[in-house]
Amino acid sequence: MPDPTIIIVAPNGARKNHHDHPALPVSIEETASETAACYAAGATVLHAHVRGKKQQHVLDAGLYVELVNELKQKLPELLVQITTEAVGIYTPTQQVDCVKKVLPNMVSTALRELTADFTALEFASEFYHWAVDANVHIQHIVYSVEELEKFLQLRDSGIIPEQHRCVLFVLGRYSTNSQSSPDGLIPFLNYDLQSLTWFTCAFGKQEQACVMAGITAGGHARVGFENNLYLDNGEIAPNNAVLVRNLRGSIEKDGGTVANSDQTRRILGFT
């Protein structure tokens, strides 16, 4: 288990809304309020999505800037990671344009999306290298060991800069009913991950067991309503902060500690 462990909270995602859970944040105000509660519970990074007027997923630079500025005032130590998730709507060019307009601390990008299923490597590489110069920290999302292999190959070849070492392993997205299990992490652990700062997130009711398996193996964690609405006992969680608080309790019960903001920045390479 790494000491300390970074917790990222993903409080809404691209697909769920108030119909899925009344406490799922949709507006800027709701997201800022929920993030403050999650920060108090132990999360030092927000994985941020913003929504349009009909609660739909949007890559809207103006809304992202509004959210970032709101959180700078309320939680100046928090790191905000915006998403470039395409949801079958946005092109790699639109994703990159959004990031360049917002200039966030961090951005979460799916490897397969930014590279257009690995057919636009030159375009993606230009963006990845631009991000290094712009001091925008990229977390690469990989959904399979095949994508992890591709990430490592692209980094070895220089298409992805060597400074890029942050990845997120997503468990359960393509399993039955999008339900993950800790065993889904095992194939990733067969690789040498020493050069990476890696995180785990997991779809479904075993989210906490999955991310704890990742933490025990040397990784960090992302939890929240984007991937899971449930507590360990099968009941629906009242809010995201409870998921963060429960994870913190599990980490501390196992003898670990949760990273504060300064430690998070150091681990991620900001300082």
Summarised one tens digit per residue, pLDDT across range 155-210 is 999 999 999 999 999 998 765 577 899 999 999 999 999 999 999 999 999 999 99
Q: pTM score, two decimals?
A: 0.97
- What is the percent of the chain where pLDDT is above 70? 98
Instruction: List the chain domain ranges.
Output: 7-268
Q: Fold for domain 7-268? A: TIM Barrel (3.20.20)
Residue-wise pLDDT tens digits, 142-152: 999 999 999 99
Measured at the CA of 79, the angle between CA 220 and CA 179, to 5 degrees, comes to 40
Instruction: Supply the DSSP string of the chain, one letter for each residue.
Output: --SSB-EEE--STTT--TTT-TTS--SHHHHHHHHHHHHHHT--EEEE-EE-TTS-EE--HHHHHHHHHHHHHH-TT-EEEEE---TTT--HHHHHHHHHHH--SEEEEEHHHHTTTTT-HHHHHHHHHHHHHHT-EEEEEE-SHHHHHHHHHHHHHTSS-TT--EEEEEESTTSGGG---GGGGHHHHTS--TT-EEEEEE-STTHHHHHHHHHHTT-EEEESTTT--B-TTSSBPS-HHHHHHHHHHHHHHTT--B--HHHHHHHHT--
**Cβ contacts of residue 100 below 8 Å, gap of 6+?**
130, 134
